[in-house]
Structure 1
Amino acid sequence: MKVKTLSRSSDVYLPSRNSEVSRLPRNLNPELHPFERAREYTRALNATKLERVFAAPFVGQLGNGHRDGVYCLAKNIRRLNAAASGSGDGVIKYWDLTTREETASFIAHQGIVKGLAVNLDGNLLSCGSDNNVKLWDVTNSAVTTPIKTFLGATGFTAIDHHRSNPVFVTSSNTVELWDENRSKPTADLSWGADNVNAVKFNQTEQSIIASAGSDRSIVIHDIRSGAPVQKLVTLMRTNAISWNPIEAFNFAAANEDQNVYLYDMRKLTRALNVYKDHVSAVMDVDFSPTGQELVTGSYDKTIRLYKVKEGHSRDIYHTKRMQRLFCVRFTMDSKYILSGSDEGNIRVWRADASSRSSVKSARERAKLEYDNALKERYKDMPEIRRISRHRHVPGYIKTAEGIKKTQLASIKNKEENMRKRSKKGSMPYAKEREKHIIGVAFKDTPKS
């Protein structure tokens, strides 16, 4: 007589190592799980609610801040825990982000510090309205004198350093390329602007520079030819530029018209995306090191985070005491954000408001990944969308949003009335990604 027994190997359900999650036998036949969708929706709803419950984006501030407003920030791309800040009274401070304390502090310029950049050796370059660019050894806590000083013809407005060569670029009434081993600029890359207020090296194609001028232009320069290549002119001025570190051709521009525009340098006749929601001029923008998100700081005293492929912010950060924002930066691990504002404080924020930096077990990580997958799957359900998008904003922001909405609706209504009373086809609809662009010009290069 044969007797059949049910048996299974322990390898099926026991983890092979301690770091793995215990395996559970599952029968995925949909006929045995008729309420699977309902259960997953409930789990996604609970996960969304818990995400908002545990949202605490503000971490703290760096030291005691500055005595004047913070107008520029710089991060060391080769270190996770280092950052520098410059204020309106000419003081520069170098910070240890781990302890949130300053490691060096010195008076660098007679007047406002307009730009900071870190060179290949980890030393700090600073420029100011006193016509000087100075190189500082920030590893020395007792630093009082610069290693080297570069004298310019006029006050500088911005500076950026090349990622692999000892050269840097500055902006003033001209865009100038400098070599650290020479006292005079090696090239003048200007193209027509009375004053240039932002300049940035491309992080991937490092011979390309983008600059923004007071004539509402964005100019692409090539240091190999030592000349500008093309110019984009918009309706309002651009305040800051940030290159995508992963997609070499794309860059974001923070504009005075309360929007941020994403461009492809190969086709500047239209924007790839428009990031909205701010109610005042956007003063600064920065991409995360992953290239998947960007952060903006605005004159409306708020920080907003965007996903690259979405047009509206996924989160908004603010505090009662934070004033006008002039600079924001992602840290090099993409987990935190630094912001400098007009009241002199440098604040640290979580890039993901509900995440925590503690060590997580394999089971916790699996649960977080499962919850994120469920939230992504059911993100368009009305209740989940309402909970995930809801934010408490200051009263003045709410009022300004209502005024802006009314103004845009009035402009749209006026255009529709004019279109009805005009000849058919004489007033075509303006595309949202093109209507802020006046034109694009290309530089004529002399034939050899």
Structure 2
Amino acid sequence: MTYCCFSDSTEKVNLVMKVKVLSRNPKDYQRETIDDIHKMPKNPCETQHPLAVDREYVKALNAAKISKMMAKPFIGALEGTTEIMTVLSLNSEVLNLAVFGTADGKVQYWDIAGRKLTKEMQAHDSEVTGICHFNKASLIYTCSLDSQLKQWRMDHDHVEEAWKEPLSTIILKWSPHCLDHHRSQNQFLVGGSESCLLYNADRLDCPLQEWTWGREAIHCAKFNPVEQNVVSILTKDNSIILADSRQGSSLRKVKMNLKLNSFSWNPMEPFIFTGASDDYNLYTYDTRYFKYPRRIFRGHVNAVMDVDYSPTGTELVSGSYDGSIRLWKVDQTGACDVYHAKRMKRVLSVRYSLDSQYIFSSSSDQNVRLWKAHANDKLGVLNPRQRLALAESEALRIKYKEHPEVRRILNRKHLPKSLLVQSKELKIIHAKQKRKERNVRVHTNSQEPIVPERERHTTALYK
């Protein structure tokens, strides 16, 4: 910058000085539109923020508190159910379609998005025990304790016409207990009181395969969703059987101490499945090493009735006779969350939605309830700032989850008094059993080997 001055002698003098001017780029602080937020300047230098870690910890603590305060998992109940729902079947391709079977032989066709009962009909004379879909052929199969297997046309646009009468009916020799369809082929399984049958929809007069194991009844049989020819079967003699649909004999058989009520294959790992047991636990098995369970999930205080994997394969949900629904991570043996309702009784079946965002549960109080898969999720459309804030809070909770205060808040589960008392009693019982085993070894000359916990629940392995 140049300054000019004149003296008394009218001589012109030029003075040149360098002046530092404070200047900023307007793009750094000005908004593009009036709807944008104001840009805040920030110095990223760590020396200028000596308390940054402390502030971050406080933000993580607040995020943990808010996640518990905003946890509202219950969405609603499907109105119109007047009987216990014994079967929940979700369509494998249509997100908002579900078909339920009741204890009085009715089949209900539901629109989940609108929570509307589209169609209800008397399909059987007794309790419906199985429903399965096959979208490629637009078919639905139902079975009941009246020893009938029926085939129906699945037409979403003309539901009334499609459900007027079944396409075909098969009279079985015994009462069927379960039903499951092949993922890609037009084949389905029917398990009953005497055997397990494999049918082809093009030849319903004669089964393709029949598996029998003495006179033991079969109460659950499912195809593997990845290795689609592998079948897992549960029998009343507390056995788990692996079979191949292309041959008539079983591959492996494991007998447990107590009965498994249901099981679910992991959709991402074809050799992993988890079973719900009568001894209040869930057992994850690896078919490559089938003798002992790979992991044991503890937490329920009564028999576990059903279990289901999320489509991502990283989470699973279980329902129990104790009236609670528990959510688990596949790599953690403790439940990450517990759902319960004031009037919810024994939970009979649970299912994940296809987008792994919701959970369906059926209980003995004649209700089908809809829950969030993550209790603190925000429903509806989120703007970018909301998504960014939620992602930041989740990252902080994960980063500081091992800090004592944050861990205490995140692991806190609010249970009904009855469940809390029963869980404390179970802990006392397990501690007493361990103490007794230790005292026996200390005060006697017992040479029996120490059996690990996961090896105590298997009786025998048959190949």
Query: TM-score by structure 1 length?
Result: 0.92
1:141 lines up with 2:157 in the alignment: no
Aligned to 1:58: 74
1:119 lines up with 2:134 in the alignment: yes
**Aligned-pair identity (%):** 36
Could you tell me how far 1:254 is from its partner in structure 2? 0.6
1:276-355 alignment runs, 5 A limit: 276-355=298-377
Could you tell me how far 1:282 is from its partner in structure 2? 0.4
Q: Tell me, in whole angstroms, the C-alpha distance in 1 between the residues paired with 2:34 and 2:306.
A: 46
2:308 alignment partner, SS class:
strand
Given that 1:273 and 1:433 are in contact with CA atoms closer than 8 Å, whether structure 2 keeps it comes out as yes
Report the CA distance shift for 1:27/1:158 in structure 2 as closer, same or farther (over 3 A).
Answer: same
Could you tell me how far 1:15 is from its partner in structure 2? 9.8
Aligned to 1:181: 202
Instruction: Report the residue type matching 1:363 in the other structure.
Output: R
Could you tell me how far 1:410 is from its partner in structure 2? 1.7
Report the CA distance shift for 1:118/1:19 in structure 2 as closer, same or farther (over 3 A).
Answer: farther
2:253 to 225, 228, 231: 231
Aligned to 1:93: 108
1:156 lines up with 2:176 in the alignment: yes
Q: Tell me, in whole angstroms, the C-alpha distance in 2 between the residues paired with 1:190 and 1:236.
A: 21
Q: Which moved more, 1:399-408 or 1:51-60?
A: 399-408
Could you tell me how far 1:429 is from its partner in structure 2? 2.7
Given that 1:193 and 1:213 are in contact with CA atoms closer than 8 Å, whether structure 2 keeps it comes out as no
Structure 2: runs of 5+ lacking an equivalent? 1-16
Aligned to 2:118: 103
Could you tell me how far 1:227 is from its partner in structure 2? 2.6
- When the two chains are superposed, the root-mean-square deviation of aligned CA atoms in Å is 2.3
Instruction: Report the residue type matching 2:115 in the other structure.
Output: R
Report the CA distance shift for 1:394/1:11 in structure 2 as closer, same or farther (over 3 A).
Answer: same
Q: Which has the larger radius of gyration?
A: 2
Instruction: Report the residue type matching 2:454 in the other structure.
Output: R
Aligned to 1:446: none
Given that 1:270 and 1:433 are in contact with CA atoms closer than 8 Å, whether structure 2 keeps it comes out as yes
Aligned to 1:433: 454
1:43 to 35, 49, 59: 59
Instruction: Report the residue type matching 2:139 in the other structure.
Output: N
Q: Tell me, in whole angstroms, the C-alpha distance in 2 between the residues paired with 1:308 and 1:356.
A: 24
Deviations 1:374-424 (A, max 9, x none): 001111122212222222212221121122122212211211111113336
Q: Tell me, in whole angstroms, the C-alpha distance in 1 between the residues paired with 2:248 and 2:31.
A: 61
1:252-267 alignment runs, 5 A limit: 252-267=274-289
Aligned to 1:31: 47
Q: Tell me, in whole angstroms, the C-alpha distance in 2 between the residues paired with 1:229 and 1:10.
A: 73
Instruction: Report the residue type matching 1:268 in the other structure.
Output: F
Given that 1:104 and 1:138 are in contact with CA atoms closer than 8 Å, whether structure 2 keeps it comes out as no
Given that 1:69 and 1:342 are in contact with CA atoms closer than 8 Å, whether structure 2 keeps it comes out as yes
Instruction: Report the residue type matching 1:180 in the other structure.
Output: A
2:176 alignment partner, SS class:
coil
Could you tell me how far 1:191 is from its partner in structure 2? 3.5
Instruction: Report the residue type matching 2:287 in the other structure.
Output: M
Q: Tell me, in whole angstroms, the C-alpha distance in 1 between the residues paired with 2:30 and 2:85.
A: 56
1:433 alignment partner, SS class:
helix
Aligned to 2:186: 166
1:411 lines up with 2:427 in the alignment: no
1:141 alignment partner, SS class:
helix
Deviations 1:18-56 (A, max 9, x none): 999998765444333221221111111111111111111
1:322 alignment partner, SS class:
coil
Q: Tell me, in whole angstroms, the C-alpha distance in 2 between the residues paired with 1:155 and 1:17.
A: 70
Query: TM-score by structure 2 length?
Result: 0.89
Determine which structure has greater relative contact order: mean sequence separation of CA pairs < 8 Å that are 6+ residues apart, divided by chain length: 1
2:454 alignment partner, SS class:
coil
Report the CA distance shift for 1:367/1:109 in structure 2 as closer, same or farther (over 3 A).
Answer: same
1:357 lines up with 2:372 in the alignment: no
Deviations 1:145-173 (A, max 9, x none): 21222222100011110111100011112
Q: Which moved more, 1:432-441 or 1:233-242?
A: 432-441
1:60-79 alignment runs, 5 A limit: 60-65=76-81, 67-79=82-94
